[in-house]
């Protein structure tokens, strides 16, 4: 039973590692899109 515990632990570790990497990646993509849209609309509609 000992080797099976290591396999389960590895699967759980990789799952949480994926969650920890996916959240910042999604946040980076959203921040890039928001930054792009704000820069484009700032040049298209300047303050008066």
What is the pLDDT, as a whole number, of residue 33? 97
Predicted TM-score (pTM) of this structure: 0.63
What is the pLDDT, as a whole number, of residue 18? 84
| pLDDT tens digit sequence for 2-48 | 577 777 777 777 778 888 899 999 999 999 999 999 999 888 877 77
Torsion of CA 33, 35, 38, 43, to 10 degrees: -110
Residue extents of the structural domains in the chain: 20-48
User: How far, in Å, CA of 36 to CA of 48, rounded?
Assistant: 21
């Amino acid at each position: 039973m000992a080797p099976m515990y290591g396999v389960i632990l590895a699967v759980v570790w990789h799952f949480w590692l994926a969650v920890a990497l996916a959240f910042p990646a999604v946040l980076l993509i959203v921040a890039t899109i928001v930054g792009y849209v704000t820069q484009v609309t700032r040049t298209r509609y300047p303050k008066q």
